[in-house]
């Protein structure tokens, strides 16, 4: 129990630094440009991940090894905190109006692609003998990250700055005043803090079920239900594959019905699926367990995740959009995502590893997100600079 809680807590370390990355790189993204900031964060993320794979062992440097791991995980989160906003805005600010939802929804499948690849590599490396896995096998996924980062840097380097950013910077130059301009990150916190708070609450319905199903449930089903971890991991991989068409579907729906309506639907669906998800998991039937994952992830989570770029970006004006959307999303990632496995494990321990309180937590957080979506304005892009 203590070991599991510790591992889930260390998982959350990478999330703690995300808001700091959002503050730092959000300000840069609104002043120096979306493209340049995105290149820095992607390169930094790749370098830090690669370095984790190069860490000396505990036998070589003692307690310094885990300390360095925590530092690198912290830096990972710092880079991710700045990268998400840039990647999202590069799509949202380029996409044509009537197709913005479906195009920006595709940008959200990047994280699911990472989940799919990570799960696949994990399945492969865990087939190694235990001694080989502990000595060098665990390094393979981290070292392979370079193969993904380098082509990503090349493609992003070839992109031009977004037309929205160029337009508002041109307007700022025309309307330039003698006094120093207020920093975007300060301005957005002072003037649009309500939008930031809305995003934090909105993220609960999306992040809680995702990390519940892909982290906590994998451990819980293995230890409490006796289900082979590979079985759950294969189901997770299936939902990741299905997520691609589902994101496109919900993106199209947002173009027709609006982001707000799709988000309310998704949040209420997550609340409705919280208890059935665990009932289906307890069946130990491959078909029923897969159905539970598909309903919770591919309908509940995917409907929310797909519309977040357009929905969140539209809550802010272009000069502070990178800062505002990044700060809100990454603060939400900390409170709603990073510590969900830890919270779920702690709640399950209250009643002898029962999932009842865990499901109740999902319901309450999803309803909070539904209410936030209900009172949020329907966002229409682009704002004029």
Condensed to tens digits (0 to 9), the pLDDT of residues 143-152 reads 888 788 888 8
Q: Residue 260 above 60 pLDDT?
A: yes
Q: Residue 326 above 90 pLDDT?
A: yes
Q: Which residue has the higher pLDDT, 86 or 295?
A: 295
Mean pLDDT for the stretch of residues 258-279: 96
Distance CA 58, CA 104 (A): 43
Q: Residue 375 above 90 pLDDT?
A: yes
Highest mean pLDDT among 2-6, 29-33, 123-127, 271-275: 271-275
| Structure token digits, residue 151 | 């082509």
Mean pLDDT for the stretch of residues 305-320: 92
Q: State the pLDDT at residue 178.
A: 45
Distance CA 193, CA 327 (A): 10
Mean pLDDT for the stretch of residues 263-284: 97
Q: State the pLDDT at residue 352.
A: 80
Mean pLDDT for the stretch of residues 202-230: 91
Q: State the pLDDT at residue 177.
A: 57
| CATH T-level fold of 2-168+183-375 | Growth Hormone; Chain: A; (1.20.1250)
Mean pLDDT for the stretch of residues 132-156: 83
Highest mean pLDDT among 42-46, 130-134, 152-156, 174-178: 42-46
Q: Residue 305 above 90 pLDDT?
A: yes
| Structure token digits, residue 79 | 């880079």
Q: Residue 319 above 70 pLDDT?
A: yes
Mean pLDDT for the stretch of residues 276-282: 96
Q: Residue 384 above 80 pLDDT?
A: no
């Amino acid at each position: 129990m203590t070991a599991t809680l510790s591992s889930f807590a260390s998982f959350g370390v990478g999330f703690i630094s995300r808001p700091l990355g959002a503050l730092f790189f959000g300000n840069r993204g609104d002043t120096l440009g979306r493209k340049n900031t995105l290149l820095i964060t992607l390169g930094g993320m790749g370098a830090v991940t690669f370095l984790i794979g190069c860490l000396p062992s505990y036998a070589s440097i003692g307690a310094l090894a885990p300390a360095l791991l925590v530092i690198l995980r912290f830096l990972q989160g710092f880079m991710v905190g700045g990268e998400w906003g840039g990647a999202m805005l590069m799509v949202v600010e380029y996409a044509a109006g009537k197709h913005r939802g479906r195009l920006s929804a595709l940008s959200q499948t990047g994280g699911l692609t990472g989940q799919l690849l990570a799960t696949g590599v994990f399945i492969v490396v865990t087939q190694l003998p235990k001694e080989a896995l502990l000595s060098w096998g665990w390094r393979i996924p981290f070292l392979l990250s370079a193969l993904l980062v380098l082509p990503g840097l090349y493609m992003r380097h070839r992109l031009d700055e977004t037309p929205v950013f160029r337009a508002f910077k041109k307007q700022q130059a025309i309307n330039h005043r003698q006094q120093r301009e207020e920093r975007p990150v300060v301005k957005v916190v002072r003037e649009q803090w309500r939008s930031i708070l809305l995003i934090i609450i909105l993220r609960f319905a999306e992040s809680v079920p995702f990390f519940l199903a892909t982290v906590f449930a994998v451990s819980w089903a293995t230890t409490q239900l006796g289900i082979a971890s590979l079985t759950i991991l294969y189901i997770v991989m299936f939902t990741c594959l299905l997520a691609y068409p589902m994101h496109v579907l919900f993106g199209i729906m947002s173009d027709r019905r609006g982001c707000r309506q799709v988000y309310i639907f998704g949040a209420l669906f997550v609340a409705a699926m919280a208890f059935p998800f665990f009932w289906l998991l307890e069946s130990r039937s491959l078909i029923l367990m897969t159905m539970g994952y598909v309903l919770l992830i591919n309908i509940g989570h995917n409907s929310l995740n797909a519309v977040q770029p357009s929905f969140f970006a539209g809550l802010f004006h272009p000069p502070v959009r990178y800062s505002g959307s990044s700060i809100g999303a990454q603060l939400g990632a900390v409170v709603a995502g990073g510590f969900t496995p830890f919270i779920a494990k702690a709640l399950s321990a209250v009643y002898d590893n029962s999932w009842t309180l865990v499901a109740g937590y999902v319901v309450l957080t999803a309803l909070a997100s539904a209410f936030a979506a209900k009172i949020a304005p329907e966002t229409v892009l682009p704002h004029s600079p």
